[in-house]
């Protein structure tokens, strides 16, 4: 009897194992993230920046080609400034002429001050002599009038000098405006990026605001994906995230949550199932740290597809720890690029 019970128990255990195996293979949901984590498909993206002219003019040179990597402040293109240089020379001459006029006016002020001082001295002498009846009252009145005229002449000379100085200020401002236009004729990279399109060629005449280049800005590299409302409401801004791109499946790129859409929207068109299309989704953005992007600018490629992982806040406001094996090892920096002979570059 005990032997039959033992055989029955063994058969029951085997049936349980086989049932669990069949459930795991055919019925259990596969590929779902563990509790406390969420993921979404996306691609690495960056902002596009149009490099445009502020003034109309002819393109003199373009210093970059499509695909070139540029740093912030690099010269990208130069507009022809022949006409502006002529205007600058004329403005400089006007400033010099106005400054000379100011010098003449200041000399007139000095002369008027000397005339006034002489007239005041003569008036004081005439007043003393008139008190002793040495000179007539008519001569005293003449000296007093001469002092008043000298005083008025000084005021006029000072006003003229101030007017000449304002002319200098206007001419200097005009010169600075022309210099600013010349400076704006050299187009610089606003930030690190890669040239996506050359929209003009040397010799072309562009209007104000004409586009010369389009850059893929590497100042803000991110991945966007969509999460259902139940998961999106548990994502915290600034929290750590991880990106695993298809091109490097063995490396997890560190990132952080920089944006969660405040309003829901329908799932993107690339989602094919009816159930997913019927649910509302929230757009989430995770950003790669700027120092990591700068460390490997040459390796950053937009449009690369991958998966972004985020942690979900539990009801107590806590975040789960990243378990081993959930994603590939996190890299402090992207792997060093390969040289032509297959060796890894070092010292970068």
pLDDT in tens, 237-266: 888 899 988 888 888 888 999 999 888 776
In a shared domain, residues 149 and 129: yes
Q: In terms of Cα–Cα distance, which of 207, 183, 200 is closest to 60?
A: 200
In a shared domain, residues 160 and 175: yes
Asked if the structure places residue 308 within a domain, the reply is no
What is the structure's pLDDT at 268?
Answer: 57
Asked if the structure places residue 251 within a domain, the reply is no
In a shared domain, residues 191 and 159: no
In a shared domain, residues 139 and 102: yes
Residue 184 clears pLDDT 60, i.e. is over it: yes
What is the structure's pLDDT at 91?
Answer: 95
In a shared domain, residues 178 and 114: yes
The full 3-state SS of 23-63, as one line of letters, equals HHHHHCCCCCCCCCEEEEEEEEEEEEEEEECCCCEEEEEEC
Last residue of a domain, one of 183, 201, 230: 183
Query: How much is the average pLDDT of 149-162?
Result: 91
In a shared domain, residues 71 and 194: yes
Q: Based on C-alpha coordinates, what's the Rg of the chain?
A: 41
Dihedral of alpha carbons 219, 224, 229, 234, sign: negative
Asked if the structure places residue 229 within a domain, the reply is no
104 vs 79: CA distance, rounded Å:
40
In a shared domain, residues 102 and 56: no
Number of independent structural domains in the chain: 2
In a shared domain, residues 146 and 196: no
Q: In terms of Cα–Cα distance, which of 327, 309, 329, 328 is closest to 319?
A: 309
In a shared domain, residues 90 and 107: yes
pLDDT in tens, 317-342: 788 888 877 777 776 544 444 333 33
Last residue of a domain, one of 212, 228, 255: 212
Query: To the nearest 10°, the Cα dihedral for 176, 181, 187, 189?
Result: 40
pTM, rounded to two decimals: 0.64
Residue 68 clears pLDDT 70, i.e. is over it: yes
Residue 97 clears pLDDT 90, i.e. is over it: yes
Per mean pLDDT, which of 14-28, 77-91, 326-340 is the most reliable?
77-91
What CATH number is given to the structural domain containing 67? 2.40.50.100
Q: What's the mean pLDDT when you consider all of the chain?
A: 81
In a shared domain, residues 71 and 190: yes
Question: In this structure, how many other beta carbons lie within 10 angstroms of the beta carbon of residue 246?
Answer: 11
In a shared domain, residues 179 and 91: yes
Range of the domain at 115: 82-183
What is the structure's pLDDT at 128?
Answer: 82
DSSP string, 242-257: EEEETT-TT-BEEEEE
Burial of 185 (0-12, 13-18, 19+ CB in 10 A): buried
Dihedral of alpha carbons 209, 211, 215, 216, sign: positive
In a shared domain, residues 202 and 110: no
Residue 276 clears pLDDT 60, i.e. is over it: no
């Amino acid at each position: 009897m005990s032997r039959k019970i033992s055989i029955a128990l063994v058969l029951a255990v085997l049936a349980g194992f086989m049932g669990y195996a069949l459930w795991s293979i055919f019925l259990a949901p596969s590929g779902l993230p563990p509790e406390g984590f969420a993921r979404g498909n996306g691609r690495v993206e960056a902002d596009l920046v149009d490099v445009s002219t502020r003034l109309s003019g002819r393109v003199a040179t373009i210093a970059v080609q499509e695909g070139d990597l540029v740093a912030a402040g690099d010269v990208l293109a130069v507009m022809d400034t022949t006409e502006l240089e002529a205007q600058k020379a004329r403005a400089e001459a006007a400033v010099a002429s106005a400054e000379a006029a100011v010098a003449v006016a200041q000399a007139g002020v000095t002369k008027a001050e000397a005339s006034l001082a002489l007239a005041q001295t003569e008036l004081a002498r005439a007043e003393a002599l008139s008190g002793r009846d040495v000179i007539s009252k008519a001569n005293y009145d003449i000296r007093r009038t001469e002092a008043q005229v000298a005083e008025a002449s000084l005021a006029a000379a000072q006003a003229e000098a101030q007017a000449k100085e304002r002319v200098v200020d206007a001419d200097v401002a005009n010169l600075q405006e022309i210099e600013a236009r010349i400076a704006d004729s050299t187009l610089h990279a606003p930030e690190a990026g890669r040239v996506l399109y050359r929209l003009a060629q040397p010799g072309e005449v562009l209007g104000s605001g004409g586009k010369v280049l389009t850059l893929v800005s590497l100042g803000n590299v991110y991945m966007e994906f969509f999460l259902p409302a139940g998961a999106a409401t548990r994502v915290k801004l600034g929290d750590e995230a991880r990106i695993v791109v298809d091109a490097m499946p063995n490396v997890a790129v560190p990132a952080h949550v920089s944006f969660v859409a405040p309003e829901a929207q329908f799932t993107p068109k690339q989602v094919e199932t009816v159930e997913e299309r019927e649910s509302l989704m929230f757009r989430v953005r995770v950003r790669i740290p700027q120092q990591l992007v700068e460390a490997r600018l040459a390796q950053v490629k937009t449009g690369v597809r991958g998966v972004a992982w985020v942690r979900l806040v539990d009801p107590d406001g806590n975040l789960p720890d990243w378990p081993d094996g959930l994603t590939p090892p996190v890299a402090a920096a992207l792997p060093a690029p390969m040289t032509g002979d297959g060796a890894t570059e070092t010292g970068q």
